Amino acid sequence: MKALVFDISLTVKEIPCPQPRNHEVLIKILFSAICNTDLEIIKGYMGFKGVPGHEFVGEVMTRSSYLFGKKVVGEINCSCGECYLCQTGRKTHCPNRTVLGIQDHQGVFAEYIVLPEENLKIIPDNIPLTSAVFTEPLAAAIEIFEQIQIKPSQNVYIFGAGKLGLLISQLFRLNGCLYTTFDTNEVKVKKALETGINASLLSSLGESDKAEVCVDCTGNLSGINLALSHLYPRGKLILKTTVAKSEKIDLNQIVINEFEIIGSRCGLFEPALSLLSQGLVNPQPLITAIFSFNEILKAFETAEKPGSLKVLIQH
């Protein structure tokens, strides 16, 4: 099968089709999408080599599966189910896990993948496939609401109006709270405003303006210190940024202000599909371009441009 392979560089190659083992099924990829993590991976993040990609919709090809012929999305963490973390409700943190396109598991920028049957969710008929491909990042956005209580009376600052920042913003809009999404990029702020998000240029934020909850999805190393400087004492900072470096942090301010910093990663697919199916989250305005698989290198070039949001690939 044809696949995009990352070694030192990105190349499209013929590689063997993956074979399902144990409880896995074979899935034909219909659409995939490029995530910031993919862009970090091709810079060396996680030391991953092979086929990247983890956002997809596909069709199950394994005849013996009850999902045969169904269009599905899939949870990217493949866990052992037996360790302490799996047994205590933390399967996405299983130390024995593989992660689709990120860790020891060939990803979705290919014709086929394999995943455990239990990782798959059938896509409701009324969700367009180009929206369903957002299920995984939307689940990651929803994870925030699994982790902490957001009170509708609280004010919230979201830093970063990128792909993830805008999905998160749509969720805060549903909560009814007073949120503002900040970005330094005028094009992104304009785009966010067009999609009904309460967005603003970062330069409009006063030095002493503060929020009860801040979300850092800037994707920049400096995002955490920016967000902390706009957090009320006893406020909560949700950290979504993953970058390949360490940052200096003033620990005193965390103690003195009793800040709470909460790292946030993967989330649940069911509520994501529910919100997409009800039309309460609409990811369509976040699509910058759709490329055919033959143009996947061009798709990556587009995804790397500063004003870009989500780039899809039709397989």
251 makes contact with a second copy (CB under 8 A):
yes
Residue 239 touching a second copy (CB under 8 A): yes
Residue of 17, 122, 187, 249 interacting with a second copy (CB under 8 A): 249
Q: Does 93 sit near a second copy (CB under 8 A)?
A: yes
Q: Which stretch binds a second copy (CB under 8 A): 26-34, 185-193, 256-264, 296-304?
A: 256-264
Nearer to a second copy, 91 or 310 (CB): 91
Regarding 250 and contact with a second copy (CB under 8 A), the answer is: yes
The string over 104-114, giving b where at least 16 C-beta atoms fall within 10 Å of a residue's C-beta and e elsewhere, is ebbbbbbbbbb
- The yes or no reply on residue 9 touching a second copy (CB under 8 A) is no
Residue 259 binds a second copy (CB under 8 A): yes
Query: What's the Cα-to-Cα distance from 244 to each of 219, 227, 261, rounded to whole Å?
Result: 10, 19, 19
42 binds a second copy per the rule CB under 8 A: no
In the beta sheet, which residues pair with residue 211?
A: 231
CB of 301 to a second copy, least distance (A): 26
Indicate whether 209 belongs to the interface with a second copy (CB under 8 A).
no
Residue in 56, 107, 99 with CA at minimum distance from that of residue 76: 99
Cβ–Cβ under 8 Å, residues 291 and 303: no
Contacting residue, 64, 152, 255, 305, with a second copy by CB under 8 A: 255
DSSP conformation letters of 27-96 = EEEEEEE--HHHHHHTTTGGG--B----EEEEEE--TTSTTTT-EEEE-SEE--S-SHHHHTT-GGG-TT
Asked if 232 touches a second copy (CB under 8 A), the answer is yes
Residues that bind a second copy (CB under 8 A): 85, 90, 93, 147, 221, 224, 232-234, 239-244, 246-265
